Amino acid sequence: MNYRRFLRLILCTLCLLPPLLAGAQQGHSALYRAVDDFLRTQTRGLPGKVSFRVTPLDPRTQLAECEAFDTFFPTGSGPWGKTTIGVRCLGPSSWTIYVQAHVSVQANYLVAARPLSAGQTLGESDFLRRTGDLGTLPSSVLLDAGQAIGKTVKIGIAAGQPLRSDQLIEPWAIQLGQNVKTVTRGAGFSVSSEGKALNNATEGQVVQVRTPSGQIVSGIARAGGVVEITY
């Protein structure tokens, strides 16, 4: 008898399971719409062709009723590749859940046309354009020629490798031993002088300058061999 009751209980549970799962999926639909709207907004300015796929929640996941959502990228997540979207219920319930998604961005990016040596200054012939999913590439990959031309290679790069911003440095605005013009500015005055640079610096970096009197001053490197000193 106990065995038969047990079988009946299992059969009843199986009969109820499809409606329960369907109800759970229906309850998740508003959440999916919030995630979909969020991803469309976050990917609107990305280059190339964008598509995304949201991983469904486990149908057994039960969420209390929610009328308003706050969607966000948790720390470490971004708008392409495998990513996570946080969804916070703003009322009448209070809960937070995390949804997985994959965002594909088919766009052009730059690769080395040949082996590139450290210290080499890049020109148009040093790179090629390729098309692929940016989600499979480092986030620092270069997408535009303007991001590469004139930059100096920091470390050797093999032919065919994607070019990344962390592999390149800005060209020197000031070079060691260069004669520079110092412009000293303060409240109500501006004085120009000359000196000799004591280190290399890209634009915006700090450079030390030896003045004709032998004094060493520090300033900000600017284009055209100018060092800006502010008091």
DSSP string for 64-117 = --EEEEEEEPPTT--SSEEEEEEEEEEEES--EEEEEEEEEEEEEEEEESS-B-
Q: What is the mean pLDDT of residues 196-212?
A: 94
Rounded Cα–Cα distance for residues 65 and 94 (Å): 9
Per cent of the chain over pLDDT 70 is 88
Cis check: omega of the bond before 92, within 30 degrees of 0: yes
- Name the pLDDT band for 4 (thresholds 50, 70, 90): low
* Sequence ranges of the domains in the chain: 18-104, 106-169, 172-230
User: Is the pLDDT confidence value at 26 over 50?
Assistant: no
* Lowest mean pLDDT segment, chosen from 14-18, 98-102, 104-108, 188-192: 14-18
Q: What is the pLDDT of residues 143-154, one digit of tens each?
A: 999 999 999 999
The pLDDT score that the predictor gives to residue 1 is: 47
User: Is the pLDDT confidence value at 21 over 90?
Assistant: no
| CATH T-level fold of 106-169 | Type Iii Antifreeze Protein Isoform Hplc 12 (3.90.1210)
Under 8 Å between Cβ of 47 and 110: no
Under 8 Å between Cβ of 115 and 158: yes
Amino acid identity for residue 162 in this structure: P
Under 8 Å between Cβ of 177 and 197: yes
Q: What is the pLDDT of residues 206-229, one digit of tens each?
A: 999 999 999 999 999 998 999 999
Degrees, nearest 5: CA angle 54-58-60? 145
- Name the pLDDT band for 139 (thresholds 50, 70, 90): confident
* Lowest mean pLDDT segment, chosen from 19-28, 30-39, 67-76, 95-104: 19-28
- Name the pLDDT band for 109 (thresholds 50, 70, 90): very high
Provide CATH code, domain 172-230.
2.30.30.760
φ/ψ of residue 131, rounded to 5: -120, 135
Q: What is the mean pLDDT of residues 115-129?
A: 95
